[in-house]
Amino acid sequence: MDSTVYSESMQKLIGELSRLPGIGSKSAARLAYFIVNCDDDYPARLSEAITGAKMNLRHCSVCHNITDQDPCPICSDMGRDHSTICVVEQAKDVIAIERTRGYRGVYHVLGGALSPMDGVGPEELKITELVKRITPEVREVILATSLGVEGETTAMYLARMLSPLGVRTTRIARGLPSGADLEYTDEATLANALDGRREII
């Protein structure tokens, strides 16, 4: 960042905004100017919202979704089908599937996907916690990890882990394009992928 262009305070603000995922220096500068030029109350409200989220949000002790209550509303909902567990990589994937309005089971958030090159092994994910959830009442585990290399590797690993437990293990169908992120998939495509899931042997 050119220090001759921005004041010290603006440099600091742009620098912090640039640390957000998907935000480059130009986008960070636009956001910074918006914050500086908006009404005086907005920066305080934004700061309060960020601080409140950081203080109040936690991971559900059952499914590891992000929530402000424990267990989360989905795990606590007795109207959901607790015999079906949909395994996803990130909490944002839960939102993507919920938008389809076609799934009424519960979830398990791994916290990522296997990626040995990035130092992400089974120990870094909530795999042990998933295995502990497989009780006789659980009839199906849906592996809804992404269809990229890491997601497929994770799904195969989980299938091998779950096979001795005798639970039906299915994989979402390839109605999703290879390498697709659930977060950016439209509801109809995602619903079709869930409906067309296949059993993993």
For residues 93 and 73, membership in a common domain is answered with yes
Q: Is 160 helix (H, G, I), strand (E, B) or coil?
A: helix
For residues 69 and 20, membership in a common domain is answered with no
Q: Is 55 helix (H, G, I), strand (E, B) or coil?
A: helix
For the entire predicted model, the pTM comes to: 0.77
State the pLDDT at residue 194: 81
Cα 83 to Cα 38: distance, rounded to the nearest angstrom: 49
Whichever domain contains 127, its CATH number is 3.40.1360.10
- Rounded (10°) CA dihedral 25, 26, 32, 34: -160
For residues 122 and 174, membership in a common domain is answered with yes
Q: Is residue 84 part of a domain?
A: yes
For residues 45 and 82, membership in a common domain is answered with no
Give the mean pLDDT per block of 10 residues along the chain (201 residues): 73 94 93 91 92 93 96 97 98 94 96 93 96 96 91 94 95 72 76 76 65
Domain that holds residue 167: 64-199
For residues 109 and 193, membership in a common domain is answered with yes
Q: Is residue 142 part of a domain?
A: yes
For residues 183 and 86, membership in a common domain is answered with yes
With a CB cutoff of 8 Å and minimum separation 6, the contacts of 92 are: 182, 183
Question: Can you name the residues that pair with 199 across neighbouring β-strands?
Answer: 170
State the pLDDT at residue 183: 79
State the pLDDT at residue 189: 74
Q: Provide the domain count of the chain.
A: 2
For residues 41 and 115, membership in a common domain is answered with no
For residues 153 and 174, membership in a common domain is answered with yes
Amino acid at 52: G
Q: What is the DSSP letter of 177?
A: P
Q: Is residue 2 part of a domain?
A: no
